[in-house]
Structure 1
Amino acid sequence: MKKLFVLFALAGTLFIYSCGGGGQKPASTTDEATPSQSSDASAQNPSYDPERGTGKFTHVDIPNQLDATKASAGEKIYNLKCSSCHKTTGEKLVGPGWKGVTQRHKPEWIMNFVTNTDEMITKDPKAQAQLEICMVRMPNQNLSDDDARNVYEFMRKNDGVK
């Protein structure tokens, strides 16, 4: 029984340590797929586009100015469904921090990821890289298309768009 307890304690410690640290990613790690990863992913997944991922969003019109109504609705969704795993800073909690996410990824990629999580993790090298860092698969939050757009607008607000 004592050995079993030690085994579980060790496993728990490794899990917490593997996704812990709370700091920024090392400078050598990026969210961008290398050209070889992108071409390999495209060759293996003909419906996959490295710029937008995989899903129904092929083009999202984003105005220069922030839509405050959508951002407010997105913040409510964030507080309800996202904040337990994501911080609005660059700090990782369970999942990666959101600061700068709209500069790292196109709106189509983000909206496809939050509405088509499982397929994106299966096919997208950038999503797979995040899974390797966090070691916890993002659950499907069952966001509607409007919810996804509102969350994206909240991300833009968090990134300083006015």
Structure 2
Amino acid sequence: MKNLKTLLIATLVSGLTFLYACGPSNGGSDSENTSTAAPAATASADIDPAAKSDSKGIGRFTDVKLDAIDPAMADKGMVVFNAKCGACHKVTDQKVVGPGLKDVTKRRTPEWIMNQITNPVEMEAKDPVGQALLAKHLTQMTFQNVTDEETRQILEYFRKNDSK
């Protein structure tokens, strides 16, 4: 009986932790988060979130210079991705909570990708592609406290994955 109670409590805590990690909170207020979902459904109706876009998105990344893929940086990006993004995303076509990210670097600019990772609430509130993604997947992407350096590493991981 004691083991059953412990198992039930552990299951409940795990479920709540997952919901919190993948839920609507990104460090903003509840009113911010609920207000971003409604405009996304209407503002993005004519945008295909799977289509290629040249948008740089909304955030501090306005000019990302890319050289040849750096395998060491990509390996670091894989570690960060698995730790902070892997619960909701895969680098395949598979949708989990969020969309599959296969070929994301072929559909989005480096700036857009980095802004989405570091500024998801504003991107999904104001960026047309971000709004369309939110409308399609119905889940606000959460900010995972990823540094700029880690974000660049994740981008390099995506580039390496998409080059295969």
State the superposition RMSD in angstroms: 1.9
Displacement of 1:125 in angstroms is 1.1
Match of 2:116 in 1: 113
Match of 2:73 in 1: 70
Spell out, residue by residue over 1:83-124, the C-alpha distance to the aligned partner (whole angstroms, 9 max, x if none).
111111112111010101000000000001101111111101
% identical aligned pairs: 42
Counterpart-to-counterpart distance in 1, 2:142 and 2:66: 26
Displacement of 1:81 in angstroms is 0.7
Task: Indicate if the aligned counterparts of 2:52 and 2:108 stay in contact, CA closer than 8 A.
Answer: no
Q: Gaps (5+ residues) in structure 1?
A: 1-27, 35-49
Matched residue pairs, number?
A: 118
Task: Summarize the alignment of residues 19-34 of structure 1 with structure 2, pairs less than 5 Å apart.
Answer: 29-32=48-51
Q: Gaps (5+ residues) in structure 2?
A: 1-46
State TM-score, norm by structure 1.
Answer: 0.68
Counterpart of 2:130, as a letter, is A
Q: Does 1:93 align with 2:89?
A: no
Task: Indicate if the aligned counterparts of 1:96 and 1:134 stay in contact, CA closer than 8 A.
Answer: yes
Deviation above 4 Å: which 4+ runs of structure 1? Answer: none
